[in-house]
Amino acid sequence: MRADAQRNYDRLLDEARQAFVAHGTDVALEDIARQAEVGVGTLYRHFPDRYALMNAVFEQEMDALTARGHGLLSEDDPAAALAKWLRAVAVHSTTYRGLAAAIMEASDAKMPACRTKMPAAGRSLLGRAQQAGTVRTDVTIGDLLKLTYAIVVSAERNTEDAGLFDRLMSLMIEGMLTRGKGDPVAPPPVTAGRRA
């Protein structure tokens, strides 16, 4: 990449990161281009759509969360290590309003860094906790990340309930743990027509 193109690319990423924090991920791309002092055509040459820009912005942060996951592999309590990592993922997602919803809605091709690096980072933590018998064996890292993102979206949409995020995260973490000898807790039977 030419030096001027690299400068534009870096400036667009910096402005996009700031805009996503301040205004959420649905901020107008034209505003990002204007703040970066480039034309909107330049933005689209580097990032063909909003998802490409979001993926580029968050890829470096995915690397940091991956490194955090690797660091937690040496903790004594594997379930607590997994819980810490899931909370770190959730807190990261809350920094950028709309990120969790975008990850949930996007196809794997749209946001590959978010959709592939995160499961890879958490899989080792989950496997270690399952081998220790402290986390249910019928849980996948995909399940836990979907629940984590759903909790973030719910908290974003219910800002009047200040404790919602922590309550839901605690419920999810409690629900992934085993009881006794590593067997999952059997869910209560669902009666036809009954809504939770």
User: Each residue of 19-55: pLDDT tens digit?
Assistant: 988 888 889 999 999 999 999 999 999 999 888 898 8
- pTM for this predicted structure: 0.77
HEC letters along 45-111: HHCCCHHHHHHHHHHHHHHHHHHHHHHHCCCCCHHHHHHHHHHHHHHHHHHCCCHHHHHHHCCCCCC
**Mean pLDDT, residues 80-94:** 92
pLDDT in tens, 100-147: 777 777 666 676 666 677 788 899 999 999 999 999 999 999 999 999
Complete domains list, the chain, with CATH? 1-48 (1.10.10.60), 50-176 (1.10.357.10)
Q: How confident is the prediction for the chain on average, in pLDDT?
A: 85
**Mean pLDDT, residues 9-21:** 92
Q: Any idea what DSSP says for residue 116?
A: I
Backbone phi and psi for residue 48, each to the nearest 5 degrees, phi listed first: -65, -20
